[in-house]
Amino acid sequence: MGLIKLLGELRIWLVENSFSNKHRRQRFFTKIVKTQINEFGENFKVNNMCRLNKSVTVKNNVNLNGMEVQGNGKITIGNNFHSGKDILLITQNHNWKDAKTIPYDDEYILTNITIEDNVWLGSKVTIIGNSTIGEGSIIQAGSVVVNDIPPLSIAGGHPATVFSKRDEEHYNECVKMGKFY
């Protein structure tokens, strides 16, 4: 068994066995992620293993349940964000256009991702750079976001497309009254 695989299995065992208390696990993961990212707001919680970097900024009342960032493009996550497990954000790609070699060269193209306020991502969502997820949107589990998603949209699929909308009047009333989970 390779060393990398062994260390991965050890990490999983430690997470499953040493941190059976939910709140202890949450404090542990939150503390680690706070050292990884650029900036974080109040009531920031990390409930599962995340791999982020200094290009990430999160605002208030953000709940991460497992996220990985690939690349160094800027990522902004708005207020009252919630996610399922295994979220992947990709903000870097190889240069293939006008590349000096085939299929690509050693230059990286950085892209940005913006997730606006009050967004909920289901488990195993992938977001490709140069995408904005509009305020109040919900992205269905397993979806791949490759373009902007308008505010208050419910989207899903591969690529993610809008198939429904939130009730705007109800949404605005909840926001006005400060009803956030």
This prediction's pTM: 0.86
Q: Tokens standing for 116?
A: 């606006």
Query: What is the residue-averaged pLDDT of the chain?
Result: 92
Q: Tokens standing for 147?
A: 């373009």
Does domain 3-176 fall under CATH 2.160.10.10? My reply is: yes
Residue 93 has a pLDDT of: 93
CA distances (Å), origin 167, targets 5, 27, 122: 47, 35, 19
Collapse the DSSP code of 147 into the 3-class scheme (helix H, G, I; strand E, B; otherwise coil) and give the result: coil
Active-site annotation holds for 170: no
The domain ranges of the chain are 3-176
Which residue in the block uniquely carries the two structure tokens 């066995």?
Answer: 17
CB 72 within 8 A of CB 55: yes
Q: Tokens standing for 39?
A: 């900036």
Helices H / strands E in the chain, number of each: 3, 17
pLDDT, greater one: 14 or 84 = 84
How confident is the model over 117-137, as pLDDT tens digits? 999 999 999 999 999 999 999
- Of the residues 23, 82, 94, 158, only one is catalytic, namely 94
